[in-house]
Amino acid sequence: MAEAAVEVDPLKDIDRTHFRDYENNSRHDIVQAHYRIMREKQTVEFVRRMHEKYNFQQPRAHMTVREAFDKLETFVDSSDPDVSVPNLVHLLQTAEGIRQAGLPDWMQLVGLVHDMGKIMFLWGTGDDGQDGSGNVAQWALGGDTWVVGCRLPECAVYHEFGQYNPDAKDPRYEGDLGMYTANCGLENVLFAYGHDEYMYQMVVANKCPFPEEGLYMIRYHSAYPWHQGRAYTQFESEKDRSMLNWIKQFNEYDLYTKSDTALPVVEELWPYYQSLIDKYMPGNLMW
């Protein structure tokens, strides 16, 4: 297993109290509306349909990481209460925080690409929650994810909106296990569909040589009810538990490096990150 020794703590002086405040922020109405419709639309049937749509047997495009990165130039995440800058700014902020901490180069690149699955907005529709403009429907692109097909845990953001999901009235999905079995492993449950799952499937399809820790970071970084709320322990495997601290460490940089003012300069930083891309995600990739 990879080792990660922190040399410098770029988060040491960060005031963490104002992050993920879903009631007192300037983006309250946008974020609340996002979760209201996300809770309503993300059913078991919908998630299965999205897995079928994005199965990488028929890629929608071939692009380099830089070309895909540039597609997010104007994309602002409607689920994020903390920042209103384009998502590519957040990606560089995350990567730079991990880099400054002296963490592994693969983890730095995970920081750069972890949200790039939001590029799905290019191929989406309003019905899929991935409106092609990137400015309207985003309820299958961003936001905290949760396990569909079982009871929504109370630690989930805007838990009260769970009542609007048709699955909440389906007896097959009642209780903490719902349609699953105990200790089946997170890889065998369905999370609400979004950029995490898409990007995980993308790096696997392209055989990008990230270690297992990096794959978990990509796939589950939005699963806050699991890695922060500690819901879904009934589904955990030993492997899931062994990866938890890595995801929690990644989450520190994903969350607390966000800023509307400390904006990185892409062209100054890109040569370094291109060297990591050449190592782990070179050339034209399937998207």
Q: Encode pLDDT of 212-233 as tens digits.
A: 999 999 999 999 999 999 999 9
Q: Are 6 and 108 in contact (CB under 8 A)?
A: no
Confidence band for 33, pLDDT divided at 50, 70 and 90:
confident
pLDDT of residue 1: 46
Q: CA 94 to CA 276: how far, in whole Å?
A: 15
Percent of the chain surpassing pLDDT 90: 71
CA distances from 238 to 21, 94, 197, 244 (A): 32, 28, 21, 10
Directed axis angle between helix 266-280 and helix 105-113, to 10°? 110
Q: Would you state the pLDDT for residue 156?
A: 95
Give CA–CA dist 132/71, Å, rounded.
Answer: 12
Does the pLDDT of residue 2 top 50, yes or no? no
Of these ranges, 81-85, 120-124, 137-141, 185-189, the one predicted with the greatest mean pLDDT is 185-189
pLDDT at residue 81 tops 60 = no
Closest CA to 46 of 190, 197, 229: 190
**CB atoms inside a 10 Å sphere around CB 241:** 10
CA-based radius of gyration for the chain: 18
Mean pLDDT of 137-166: 94
Spatial separation of the C-alpha atoms in residues 268 and 265, rounded to whole Å: 6
Q: Rounded CA gap, 231 and 144, in Å?
A: 13
Report DSSP state, residue 123: G
Helix (H) / strand (E) element for 62: namely strand 62-63
Residue 55: count other Cβ atoms within 10 Å of its Cβ.
11
Q: What is the 3-state secondary structure (H, E, C) of 219-277?
A: HHCCCHHHHCCCCCCCCCCHHHHHHHHHHHHHHHHHHHCCCCCCCCCHHHHHHHHHHHH
Q: Is the pLDDT of residue 267 over 50?
A: yes
pLDDT average, residue stretch 260-277: 90
Q: What is the mean pLDDT of the chain?
A: 89
pLDDT tens track for 42-60 = 999 999 999 999 999 989 9
pLDDT-wise least confident of 19-23, 44-48, 104-108, 115-119 = 19-23
Is residue 59 within 8 Å of residue 287, measured between CB atoms?
A: yes
pLDDT of 113: 97
Q: What is the pLDDT of residues 183-199, one digit of tens each?
A: 999 999 999 999 999 99
Which is more confidently placed, 4 or 281? 281
